[in-house]
Amino acid sequence: MQLAVVTGASRGLGREVCRQLAEQGWTVLLTARGDGVAEEVARQLDHPRVEGHRLDVTEPDEANALAAALRERHGRLDALVNNAGAIFDAHGVGVLGGAEAIQRSLHTNTMGAVHVTAALAPLLVETGGGCIVNVSSGMGALTDMGTGHPGYRLSKAAMNALTKVLAGELRGSGVRVNSVCPGWVATDMGGPNATRTVEEGASGIVWAATLGPDGPTGGFFRNGQPIDL
């Protein structure tokens, strides 16, 4: 049995990653914030290997409760997908005037992944290895940094740095840590004009969550291909 935890799975890419992993035979803890939301989405997916669990990634207590439940019920973890994310920047507002949105972006998009990883990475190590996937964005790549949505850009650039730092810390443990950009995907965040379907976007995330022991670590990928950080 292989077990994955996916954050921010109430809709969009997270929900689809859960579905694809379950189709591949994985047991999946679909997590979402709020009372009963994860349980309801898991029920809608109607897959025997998907179970719902509450998790607001900005609440370290909830991440620790999830780790305790996981340890008790399953005793292992093979993949963690840090997918939860949001855009807080008002349209057209830059760094100047955008400090509050930048803070909120870092709080959810970066610190959320930090809290969840701190709670769950020990279980990956105890399992003997596995994958952490940080769902990032090309908008966070320093090599292609533009303007607009500064909170989102800073939070994803920091997430990419988190990937590299964690990959170094966990080297030798068997845990591989990578960032993935799903491309521009037609979700609530990506909007209807996006060029990729949810299924296509999710497949690159699933690829990174299911890498074997010889897979890469500390990289940034789109469609399974390395891209510049």
Ligand X SMILES: NC(=O)c1ccc[n+]([C@@H]2O[C@H](COP(=O)([O-])OP(=O)(O)OC[C@H]3O[C@@H](n4cnc5c(N)ncnc54)[C@H](OP(=O)(O)O)[C@@H]3O)[C@@H](O)[C@H]2O)c1
Q: Strand pairing of 225-226 and 27-32?
A: unpaired
CB-side neighbour CA atoms (13 Å) of 187: 24
Active-site hit among 26, 88, 152, 220: 152
Which residues share a beta bridge with 44? none
Residues that bind ligand X (CB under 6 A): 7-8, 10-14, 32-33, 56-58, 83-86, 108, 112, 135, 137, 181-182, 184-185, 187-190, 194
d(CA 126, CA 152): 33
Q: Strand pairing of 79-82 and 3-6?
A: parallel
User: Least distance (Å) from ligand X to the CB of residue 1?
Assistant: 25
User: Least distance (Å) from ligand X to the CB of residue 199?
Assistant: 12
Q: Which among 8, 92, 19 has a CA at the least distance from the CA of 57?
A: 8
Which residues share a beta bridge with 178? 133
Query: Which residue, 184 or 227, has its beta carbon nearer to ligand X?
Result: 184
Is 151 a residue of the active site? no
User: Least distance (Å) from ligand X to the CB of residue 112?
Assistant: 6
Do 151 and 99 form a contact (C-beta atoms < 8 A)?
no
Query: Which residue, 98 or 138, has its beta carbon nearer to ligand X?
Result: 138
User: Least distance (Å) from ligand X to the CB of residue 204?
Assistant: 10
Residues labelled as active-site residues: 152
